[in-house]
Amino acid sequence: MAVSPTYPGVYVQEVDSGVRTVAGVPTSIAAFVGVAERGAVNEPVACFNFGEFSRRFGGLSSASTMSYCVEDFFANGGGQCEVVRVFKPLNADDDSDPANVLFADGRAQLDLGTLKLRATSSGAWGNNLEAWVEHPANDPARAAIATKYGVDGADLFTLTVVDTSTGSREVHPNLVLAEAGGQRRFDRVLGETSQLVEFLPDGAGTPSFGVRPAPATVTNGVPVATKASGGNDGQPVDDDALEGEEESKSGMHALRRADIFNLLCIPPVDRGSNLAKDLREAAAKFCRERRALFIVDPPSAWDAIPDTAAATAKTSVAAGEIMALADADHAAIYFPRLRKRDPLRGGQVDTFPPCGAVAGIMARTDTQRGIFKSPAGLGATVVGTEALTVKLTDDENGLLNPVAVNCLRTFPNIGRTVWGARTLKGSDQLSDDYKYVSVRRLALFIEESLFRGTQWAVFEGNDEPLWAQIRLSVGSFMQRLFLQGAFQGASPKEAYFVRCDASTTTSDDINRGIVNIVVGFAPLQPAEFVVISIQQIRNAA
């Protein structure tokens, strides 16, 4: 703000430096799409540890391969994920079973007389809910509470809800089943505090108000609970449900509600099943749009016969059975699958998809070394596995690496580790710029960071002062990456460049309101093949 001098003296003012810092975006937020025991449907929910996933989605479930993948993600170093639960409701138009109409959304219901409740989310888990109502004693304490909340003391009641499967108990005292209930109106209180139940709306979507519900019968000093019923797990989830629809933001497209994710995992619904090729291609295309990487699980048929697994995998990839090449640089496949103990089946060893563990290893590598380091090598060990479905040899690894299949290997004294770092467009024949996972992810990181970090330039004057500010902001960001070792070259000039001037933005661009920023960088290529030459030195004497 300009100073208006009125008296002789010194005037001090603060001037904006004009520097806009470009902050790096997160690099290892994984998104999981699949079946869960409970939880919000078609809504991305952030989880920061497996305990939080268990509270929100029910933890491990034999019917949910996604739950095991989320566990692997956190066990291998993951820190944050977005979870989308997919649920396919019963066919409400099927009149052969009245329950299809009444419980089409899969939520269990509780009928406590004038108080109608339902589980907070779909699933058979809701049938484990029990609830009962108690009335407070008619004494001065109840009168004081009624006065405090501005309600009639005769309307107050206490609701207790118990989840018998987990032992969780909620007690909601001093509720009022009246529209004038103020801050103790039952639907508002349950909506804010209950993790188990919510009010059951009528046809108009509003709560049913009335007199307070009758108290539960007491037997031997214990209230007799009302049990919930009608909860169901809907129809079996298929690939169409996993993909969902962009318009309704369901399935995979529910992630459009998430601010950002970097890694996408869509494990098959059943342990022995596979995703369809169409779904894999749709997921890779979605990742291109959202600047993310799709981690592909290998088809179960590849390791059906371990002795020929490598040849089967190579033939399958060569035949284009995994996905088309259009968006393959935004996807990477890892083979074989994992063998680990299942606590829900008495500790028996079973087979699981590797996507969750690989996503966790990528997150761990980002934290320890940086996104520019390939998430592979002796440091990329897989935690929590007993074995792999196939123990690949060097020769078998040599069959798969040139066709862009990243191998999981077992080495003595090291254990299971990731031994491949290519995208699905990393075949030797293609010679693609984004052959390697580390290069692809680094480019996505730079793109997303600059996309968000240059928003301030919108509607600014499109001339040299703006261009100079952009060069300074973007150049500072690229310099930080250079100092971290993200690029090739011994000097910034060899490692990257940032251009934003009259050579990139012409007069025609200015007339159309366009400013062009050109950023180039020399990425680090992983040392995939280390060749050691040994020579004997003979003493001529």
Q: Is residue 360 pLDDT above 70, yes or no?
A: yes
What are 424-478's pLDDT values in tens digits?
999 998 989 999 999 999 999 999 999 999 999 999 999 999 999 999 999 999 9
**Which conformational region is residue 230 in: left (phi greater than 0), alpha (psi within -120 to 50 degrees), or beta?**
left
Res. 183 pLDDT band, cuts 50 70 90: confident
Give yes or no: residues 367 and 321 share one domain.
Answer: yes
Give yes or no: residues 208 and 350 share one domain.
Answer: no
Share of the chain above pLDDT 70, in %: 96
What are 121-147's pLDDT values in tens digits?
999 999 999 999 999 888 888 889 888
- pLDDT (average), residues 476-504: 94
User: Among 13-17, 63-67, 154-158, 348-352, whose mean pLDDT is lowest?
Assistant: 13-17
Give yes or no: residues 483 and 423 share one domain.
Answer: no
Q: What is the pLDDT of residue 26?
A: 95
Residue 11 lies in a domain: no
Give yes or no: residues 489 and 526 share one domain.
Answer: yes
CATH number of the domain residue 50 falls in: 3.40.50.11780
Angle between helices 50-57 and 65-75 (to 10 degrees): 160
Chain mean position to CA 304: 30
Tell whether the torsion through CA atoms of 493, 494, 500 and 502 is positive or negative. Answer: positive
Residue 520 lies in a domain: yes
Residue 24 lies in a domain: no
Residue 304 lies in a domain: yes
Give yes or no: residues 365 and 421 share one domain.
Answer: yes
Residue 278 burial (CB count, 10 A): 12
Q: Which of 161, 193, 227 is the last residue of a domain?
A: 227
Give yes or no: residues 241 and 270 share one domain.
Answer: yes
Q: What is the pLDDT of residue 105?
A: 83
With a CB cutoff of 8 Å and minimum separation 6, the contacts of 38 are 56, 57, 58, 121, 122, 123, 125, 126
97-101 long-range contacts, CB within 8 A, separation 24+: 99/230, 99/232
Q: Which of 378, 408, 439 is the last residue of a domain?
A: 439
Q: Is residue 320 pLDDT above 70, yes or no?
A: yes
What are 379-397's pLDDT values in tens digits?
999 999 999 999 999 999 9
- Domain assignment of residue 46, given as a range: 30-88+236-439
Res. 102 pLDDT band, cuts 50 70 90: low
Q: Is residue 104 pLDDT above 90, yes or no?
A: no
Give yes or no: residues 341 and 388 share one domain.
Answer: yes
Query: Are 485 and 522 a contacting pair, CB within 8 Å?
Result: no
Give yes or no: residues 417 and 350 share one domain.
Answer: yes
Question: To which H or E segment does residue 227 belong?
Answer: strand 226-227
Res. 96 pLDDT band, cuts 50 70 90: low
Q: How many domains does the chain have?
A: 3
Give yes or no: residues 278 and 189 share one domain.
Answer: no
Give yes or no: residues 316 and 263 share one domain.
Answer: yes
Residue 199 lies in a domain: yes
- pLDDT (average), residues 397-420: 95
Residue 500 lies in a domain: yes
Residue 145 lies in a domain: yes
Q: Which of 404, 439, 474 is the last residue of a domain?
A: 439
Residue 3 lies in a domain: no
Tell me the whole-structure pTM to 2 decimals: 0.92
Give yes or no: residues 137 and 79 share one domain.
Answer: no
Give yes or no: residues 110 and 171 share one domain.
Answer: yes
Q: What is the pLDDT of residue 3?
A: 80
Question: To which H or E segment does residue 15 belong?
Answer: none
